[in-house]
């Protein structure tokens, strides 16, 4: 039996204002899940063969900028130079990302809306959207993918949760244990799974905005990575 996608439900992380320590703790939980459950590794591995020396990278919905920091470390270990622009629509979250990337010259952080990116056409070699697409509903999903395609020259990467019953039960278990004292992640973790995607849904969105060479791969644990080229 399939798990229907939950539409129109707001995650608490999207609220306009947060208590600072509560927000940082929730962002740390998100980063820890991305690290330990394979989401970050899956995206870095997908980028690895396409991240050329001197590449300009855009990360949309960066959160605490854990993915840009991982990419910067990966490139530095291999002697490659990259520039990464990390953006988030939420001013408080963008401020956290800016603090977390101090001392990392490869990364610049800005507050920006993925639906209206303040960048020229084809400004970046690679654009990424990790754990962010499920925050949008309806036409907004298509609009953010179209904006990614507008500002990128070579490759787009979308990392998402795989919506199914085992992943939802896993999120419920984490909410009752690891996240039980965190009101944001305890609420948002299971909801994120309900608002996430199946592989066919992710592929359909990409094809509807005209992306080319669309590939959706499954990764442990319950992760999807979409790779595509702009039209």
- Structure confidence at residue 37 (pLDDT): 83
Domain regions of the chain by residue span = 20-229
User: Superfamily assignment of 20-229 in CATH?
Assistant: Vaccinia Virus protein VP39 (3.40.50.150)
| Separation between Cα atoms, residue 155 and residue 212, nearest integer Å | 10
pLDDT for residue 1: 62
Query: What's the alpha-carbon Rg for the chain, to the nearest Å?
Result: 16
Kindly report each contact of residues 48-55 with a partner whose C-beta sits within 8 Å and lies 24 or more positions away, as own/partner. 48/74, 50/126, 50/154, 50/155, 51/75, 51/80, 51/82, 51/126, 52/80, 52/125, 53/80, 53/81, 54/80, 54/81, 54/82, 55/80, 55/82, 55/83, 55/125, 55/126
Average pLDDT over residues 162-171: 96
Convert the pLDDT of each residue in 111-137 to its tens digit.
999 999 999 999 999 999 999 999 999
Crossing angle of helices 183-194 and 20-36, rounded to 10°:
50
For 130-148, what is the mean pLDDT? 97
Q: Is 39 exposed, middle or buried (0-12, 13-18, 19+ CB in 10 A)?
A: buried
Residue 36 has pLDDT above 90, yes or no: no
Q: What is the pLDDT of residues 37-72, one digit of tens each?
A: 888 999 999 998 899 999 999 999 999 999 999 999
Query: For residue 224, what is the enclosing H or E element?
Result: strand 223-229
Please report the pLDDT score of residue 202 as a whole number: 98
What predicted TM-score, i.e. pTM, was given to this entire model? 0.96
Instruction: Indicate the pLDDT class of residue 146, thresholds 50, 70 and 90.
Output: very high
Q: According to the model, what pLDDT value does residue 192 have?
A: 97
Q: What is the pLDDT of residues 12-23, one digit of tens each?
A: 999 999 999 999
Q: Is the dihedral of CA 45, 123, 82, 40 positive or negative?
A: negative
Rounded to the nearest 5 percent, the helix, strand and coil shares of the chain are 45, 25, 35
pLDDT of 39 reads: 86
């Amino acid at each position: 039996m399939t798990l229907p996608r939950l539409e129109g439900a707001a995650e608490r992380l999207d609220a306009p204002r947060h208590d600072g320590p509560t927000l940082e703790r929730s962002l740390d939980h998100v980063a820890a899940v991305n690290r330990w459950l394979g989401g970050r590794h899956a995206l870095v591995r997908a980028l690895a063969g396409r991240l050329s020396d001197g590449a300009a990278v855009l990360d949309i919905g960066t959160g605490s900028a854990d993915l840009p920091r991982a990419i910067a470390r990966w490139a530095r270990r291999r002697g490659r130079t990259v520039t990464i622009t990390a953006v988030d629509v939420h001013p408080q979250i963008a401020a956290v990302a800016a603090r977390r990337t101090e001392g990392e010259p490869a990364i610049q952080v800005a507050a920006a809306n993925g639906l209206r990116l303040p960048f020229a056409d084809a400004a970046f070699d690679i654009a990424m959207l990790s754990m962010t697409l499920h925050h949008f509903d309806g036409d907004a999903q298509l609009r953010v993918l179209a904006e990614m395609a507008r500002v990128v020259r070579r490759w787009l990467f979308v990392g998402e949760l795989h919506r199914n019953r085992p992943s939802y039960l896993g999120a419920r278990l984490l909410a009752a244990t690891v996240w039980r004292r965190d009101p944001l992640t305890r609420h948002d973790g299971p909801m994120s799974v309900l608002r996430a995607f199946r592989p066919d849904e992710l592929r359909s969105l990409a094809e509807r905005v005209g992306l080319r060479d669309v590939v959706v791969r499954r990764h442990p644990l319950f992760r999807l990575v979409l790779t595509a080229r702009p039209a």
